[in-house]
Amino acid sequence: MSRVTTDTAKTLRGVVCAALGLLIGFNSFPLQSEAAPAQQYKAYAPKGGYSAPVAQRRQLPYMPDTLMLIPAGKVTDEQVHDLVQEQGGQLEDVIGKGPYRILIIKTQKGKLAQTEVALKKDKRIWMMQRNYQFDEMIGDYTQEDIVKDKEGGSGSFLRLVNAPKAWALGATGAGQTIAIADTGVAPSTYDLAGKCDPGYDATTWDAKLALASSPMGAGLGVAAGLGLGALFGLGVNVLANAVNPGCKYDVVSTNAKGKKSNGHGTMVATIAAGAINKSHCCGVAPEARIYPIRAKGSTAMCAAIWHLMTTGGPKILNISQGPMIEDDMPIQFLAFRLYHDWHHGIIFIAAGNSGEQLGKPVSYVNYVSMTKVSGKFITPKNGDGSASGPCITFAAQGDKVDTADMSDNDVCSGGTSFAAPTCAGVAALVWSANPALTGDQVVLLMKQKAYLPAGITMDANKYGNGIPDAEASVRAALGLARRGLGG
């Protein structure tokens, strides 16, 4: 079947399923929204964590003429719509439901900054940000020869976190799934074949429709246009998720510096959970599964977070895109906070390769900086280096990391993109050793057992708590399991 025919078939299937979903929605009881207690509402407002003045920051790329906002208190969407129309804009979409629903605003062309200033002064708006776009956090490194160890995988980044010693204890990541929010994942590669779930494409209309009547959902897309959001029932949620094409493919992407990646998400997923075999490399948690998510931009990332929470999705999330700056992205970080608090999830984010100084720590997000194989702080040839600051939680190898792209080519590259999934893989190992642990307990064990190689002076701004030690963390998790502790 040709690609055109396949795409047409998917479109027709989507139309049919959406129509069925409408019919089922009319006859199904809508799920009640899950609203946070009133006393917790203000506590979820990000308090800012970036130390450099706004004027000194590198300008983040954003979607032109698009704003994201959350209304204050009991302000209705209709009131926001009228407010936005006064500024010549339009209310386009809604993500989520209840006090944390996100309204997507289309401003007049070229009037984004002007509209932003006007809305910031209005007390009916609680939180607002631009729709920032994210770069893959891959460094400017040349490919080098790959040295494989007897297990078939590259040795250095695995041995630095003592992953093979954790495998020997029986902790391989079995029973765990790692969500990779990135460019997608190619599930048929040699290292990932048979271990990728269909995943989720958070950039499609299905992603919004799927939220229609979930606990965090609201009537979106067609539903919002027809005013039928309240009538959508469980059938819409189930069918829309079934229609979503998932992320059964990856793409060639180019970051802001012109660096091309032949399947960035595939390379990241392989580092986290590539299978042990006699070719390419293997991942830190070789028996964990992968849940690929396509999301590049704040709106798609927020939709992905709601999806994970409403479908009982994976509790380990890796984001090798960035930079993620809390007080520039308050809505983005609100979504992360809800994923952590309500879904009990663990988030690993690449700190970035720009050499920026990040600010105050965010307790529910784990930033990962990069180290050399020796454990020393990396300084690439172009003069940039890993971001640092008090927000860094862990460090992991960020140069000469061996992985494979979506064409099954060996790739030896670097950047915080590849340090973050190393830590996500360690979390999967620890959780597989003791599934009764909470997400916070998994991270706490990783922090307690982290280390730096001999001769390296601890600098929390560069290394956080240090390099995760999978073996030591797994031993501690198994010890707790024997005593019936966890959770």
Q: Among 29-33, 61-65, 255-259, where is mean pLDDT lowest?
A: 29-33
CA distance 283 to 158: 8
> Is the pLDDT confidence value at 428 over 60?
yes
The three-state secondary structure class of 60 is coil
> Can you give the pLDDT at residue 146?
41
**Residue 348, C-beta contacts closer than 8 angstroms, at least 6 positions apart:** 316, 317, 318, 319, 366, 368, 394, 420, 421, 423, 424, 427
More confidently predicted of 374 and 453:
453
> pLDDT band at residue 100, thresholds of 50, 70 and 90?
confident
> Can you give the pLDDT at residue 208?
52
> Can you give the pLDDT at residue 350?
94
> Can you give the pLDDT at residue 50?
59
* Arithmetic mean of pLDDT, 97-106: 88
Whether the full predicted model's pTM is greater than 0.85, yes or no, is no
Distances (CA, A) of 472 to 258, 422, 441: 40, 16, 14
234-256 pLDDT, tens per residue?
444 444 444 555 666 788 887 76
> Can you give the pLDDT at residue 53?
63
Q: Among 28-42, 359-373, 387-401, 459-473, where is mean pLDDT lowest?
A: 28-42
220-231 pLDDT, tens per residue?
333 333 333 333
> Is the pLDDT confidence value at 405 over 50?
yes
Closest CA to 28 of 318, 202, 246, 235: 235
> Can you give the pLDDT at residue 218?
34
CA distance 27 to 38: 32
DSSP result, 389-452: STTEEEEEE-SSEEEE-TTS-EEEE-SHHHHHHHHHHHHHHHHHH-TTS-HHHHHHHHHHH-B-
Q: Among 44-53, 288-297, 413-422, 470-479, where is mean pLDDT lowest?
A: 44-53
Cβ atoms of 410 and 404 closer than 8 Å: yes
Question: What single DSSP character describes residue 377?
Answer: B
Q: Quote the mean pLDDT of the chain.
A: 78
Q: Among 140-144, 178-182, 363-367, where is mean pLDDT lowest?
A: 140-144
CA distance 356 to 348: 18
> pLDDT band at residue 287, thresholds of 50, 70 and 90?
very high
* Arithmetic mean of pLDDT, 76-97: 90
Domains of the chain: 62-131 (3.30.70.80), 136-204+245-482 (3.40.50.200)
> Can you give the pLDDT at residue 245?
55
> Can you give the pLDDT at residue 360?
82
CA distance 50 to 389: 9
Residue 305 in tokens? 């977070």
What's the start-to-end Cα distance of the chain, in Å? 49
